[in-house]
Structure 1
Amino acid sequence: MQIVDAFQNEIDRRVKCVFPDIKMSIKKRSTTVVEFMGFNKESDRETLNGILQEVWEGGSWH
C-alpha cells in the first residue's frame, strides 16, 4: 500500500467517526490534494484541521 493510500485510509477512518456524512476526495498529482465537502460551520473546520494535524504528526498510518 502506498503512503498516500495509508494516509487516506487513516484520515477517512478518523474523520468519519466525527463527521459520518462528510465526503472526502484525495487527488494524487505532483502534489497530493485533500478535499472535504459538507462542512457548514467554522467550528467543524477547526475540528477537521485538528484531526488532520493529529493524523499527520502521529504517523500511525505509515
Structure 2
Amino acid sequence: MHKMLWISWTQQPTAGIQPHTQRIERFLVTTMTFDCVRIQLLEYCINIQHKEKGDENMIRIEILFDRQSTKNLKSGTLQALQNEIEQRLKPHYPEIWLRIDQGSAPSVSVTGARNDKDKERILSLLEEIWQDDSWLPAA
C-alpha cells in the first residue's frame, strides 16, 4: 500500500540569496518505509503534515524521556502512557498526533492548540495523567 507523505520546511538563506519561505514536497512511499522516513525526518526537526487528514487543526504532542530515565521504567510503560493520553485527550481533541520516545534530554512539546488556554489545558491534563499512576503496568 502506498501513502502520500507531505514534507514542508523553511530553507535557510545562502550567500545572500533570499530563501523560499516554505517548500512543500510530496513522496510516494510504501507503508513500511513511511514510518522510517517519518522518524528520520522528525529527528531533523522537519515538520511533516498528512494533508489527506487536513490536520491544520491537529494537536501535536511530543514527550521525550532521556535514556537514563527509560532504563528505570517497567516494560510497557511508554505504551501504557500513550494509551492513557489518547484515551483521556481524544474526547476533547479528536485529532491528536502523539509521539512518546527517547531523546537526548527530557522534554514535553504541545503545538497546534487553538490558543494559550487550550495549550495550558492540555499540559494540565498531561500533568494529571503523569501524577495518576493507575495507568502504569503491573509490576
1:35/1:12 Cα in 2 relative to 1: closer, same or farther (>3 Å)?
farther
- Aligned amino acid, residue 58 of structure 1: D
| Unpaired stretches in structure 2, ≥5 consecutive residues | 1-74
1:25-53 deviations in whole A, cap 9, x for unaligned?
22234666655443121111111011111
- Regions of 4+ moved over 2 Å: 27-38
RMSD value over aligned CA atoms?
2.0
Q: Are the equivalent residues in 2 in contact too, given 1:24–1:35 (CA < 8 A)?
A: no
1:11 aligned to 2:64? no
| Larger RCO of the pair (alpha carbons < 8 Å, separation 6+) | 1
Give the greater-gyration-radius structure (CA).
Answer: 2
Unmatched segments (≥5 aa) in structure 1: none
More helix by share: 1
Q: Distance in 2 between matches of 1:59 and 1:6?
A: 11
Q: Larger strand proportion, structure 1 or 2?
A: 2
Aligned residue pairs, count: 62
